[in-house]
Amino acid sequence: MSTNTPSTVRNRRGPALDVAVVGGGMVGAATALALAKAGFATALLEAREPSPWLATDEVDLRVVGLAPSSIALLDDLGVWTSIRDSRAGPYAHMHVWDAENGAAIHFDAADEGRELLGYIVENNLVQWRLWQALETAGVRRLCPADVRGFDAQEDRIQLELADGDLLAAKLLVAADGAGSPLRKLAGIETHGRDYAQRAVVAHVSTERPHEGTAWQRFIATGPLALLPLADGRSSIVWSLPDDEARRVLALDDQAFLAELGVASDFRLGRITATTPRAAFPLRLQLAERYQAERFVLLGDAAHAVHPLAGQGVNLGLRDVAELRDTLVAARDAGRDIAAEHVLRRYARRRRSADTLDAMSFDTLARIYSWQSAPLVAARGLGVRLLDRLSPIKRRLAEHAAGF
């Protein structure tokens, strides 16, 4: 495959690497670190270096609920302890309830023989700790760097950078986000749907403590999550139709707090204070394939899902673990790590798992959008039955944990 191949060579940035990772967000940085620690000569290319995370800064509005599988990977990469000890909100319970029929389901870590279900952590804290670990792991960081094209050859893939330099690697990993320019250069299409919704996010103080619990209420306009932060506040993720999200963003603080209190059913009492708010659009998007010649996708470049289950970054980190294990197995067997059959194994496994999860989240969103009385009643009956069926509920909890 050849895309925008330069006709003249200006500079070559050293001999061919094993892997070039493009995109330095949480998933891209974790990929570069995981592969370097596994012994691969790795470079990370990113347009801009992240701002340092400082304990004195306000908590980042973008947070992630890290599942046990993600925590295990970060621990293996040597960064989890510093993340946990910096500012991470543990939660041992999850309570989900339906505003229309009152049906609820509750998950408790103790029922799974675990101490916790996970942690709520700021995106920029995870990214910064990963970036700090890159240099000591031997990752070549090219920043700022912008890939304008690439050319897959017999034993390598050659990247053309915006400054005219060339970089060669055996494998190119695209972790450059949902809008992935590299995915488009590779000619990989996506499918999905626009939810015509935005997730309004803020951090709020409440009259009652969050009790180390992730709360989620399904209301007619979309789900509202209250996620426990380390400082005792809750991070809200409020999914609303586009017009309604714009209206909510325009409210003054007092009006916003009042509406949020009603939407949350005052589960934590009155909402007493809020940070400035922000919003981001919601979309389901899946790449039609995860590989091309000497090229793979992972993270948001491969899949973007509804945030109602809080699994987006966890899916991306499972991509990282799968890719690392696949490449290590190929190397140890004396194979080309970017051979088609090697990359096909990674792509088949992760696309299958990601598609199943994405469709499950989408189905859940559709089910909770039902408004007719018979369907609402049926939904409530199903949730109540599920809450009583311990083996099935346990399987759901294990799947969410990444086991």
- For residue 377, the model assigns a pLDDT of 77
Short-list 122, 115, 62, CA closest to 87: 122
Polymer length in residues for the chain: 403
- For residue 99, the model assigns a pLDDT of 86
Q: Which helix (H) or strand (E) holds 241?
A: strand 234-241
Residue that wins the pLDDT comparison between 389 and 77: 77
What gap in Å lies between CA 8 and CA 22, rounded to an integer?
23
What are the residue ranges spanned by the domains of the chain? Answer: 12-401
Residue 350's pLDDT band (boundaries 50, 70, 90)?
A: very high
**Would you give the distance in Å from CA 187 to the centre of its chain?**
23
Q: Tell me the Ramachandran region of residue 39: left when phi exceeds 0, alpha when psi lies from -120 to 50, beta otherwise.
A: left
In contact, 384 and 395? CB cutoff 8 Å: no
Residue 6's pLDDT band (boundaries 50, 70, 90)?
A: very low
In contact, 32 and 42? CB cutoff 8 Å: yes
In contact, 96 and 367? CB cutoff 8 Å: no
Q: DSSP letter at 301?
A: G
Q: Would you state the structure tokens that stand for residue 338, as one six-digit string?
A: 């970017």
What gap in Å lies between CA 281 and CA 335, rounded to an integer?
42
The pLDDT of residue 371 is above 80 = no
pLDDT above 90 coverage of the chain, percent: 75
What gap in Å lies between CA 391 and CA 403, rounded to an integer?
15
Residue 187's pLDDT band (boundaries 50, 70, 90)?
A: very high
- For residue 383, the model assigns a pLDDT of 72
- For residue 151, the model assigns a pLDDT of 95
In contact, 200 and 263? CB cutoff 8 Å: no
- For residue 394, the model assigns a pLDDT of 66
Q: At the fourth CATH level, which superfamily is domain 12-401?
A: FAD/NAD(P)-binding domain (3.50.50.60)
For 92, 94, 234, 309, the CA distances from 211, given in Å and listed in that order, are 9, 10, 10, 20
Q: At what angle do helices 312-332 and 68-76 cross, to 10 degrees?
A: 50
Mean confidence (pLDDT) of the chain: 90
Task: Output the CA torsion sign for 160, 351, 119, 212.
Answer: positive
What gap in Å lies between CA 386 and CA 284, rounded to an integer?
26
The pLDDT of residue 103 is above 90 = no
What gap in Å lies between CA 295 and CA 352, rounded to an integer?
18
Q: What angle do CA 321, 303, 53 make, to 5 degrees?
A: 65
When pLDDT is averaged across residues 219-232 and rounded to a whole number, the result is 94
Q: What is the largest CA-CA distance in the chain?
A: 68
- For residue 281, the model assigns a pLDDT of 94
What gap in Å lies between CA 72 and CA 254, rounded to an integer?
41
3-class DSSP state of 298: coil
Residue carrying structure tokens 């800064």:
57
What gap in Å lies between CA 180 and CA 184, rounded to an integer?
7
The pLDDT of residue 398 is above 60 = yes
The pLDDT of residue 352 is above 70 = yes
What pTM was estimated for this model as a whole? 0.90
Residue 174's pLDDT band (boundaries 50, 70, 90)?
A: very high
When pLDDT is averaged across residues 139-149 and rounded to a whole number, the result is 95
- For residue 251, the model assigns a pLDDT of 97
- For residue 364, the model assigns a pLDDT of 75
When pLDDT is averaged across residues 103-127 and rounded to a whole number, the result is 91
When pLDDT is averaged across residues 350-359 and rounded to a whole number, the result is 88
Q: Tell me the Ramachandran region of residue 63: left when phi exceeds 0, alpha when psi lies from -120 to 50, beta otherwise.
A: beta
Q: DSSP letter at 387?
A: H
Partners of 90 in the β-ladder: 119
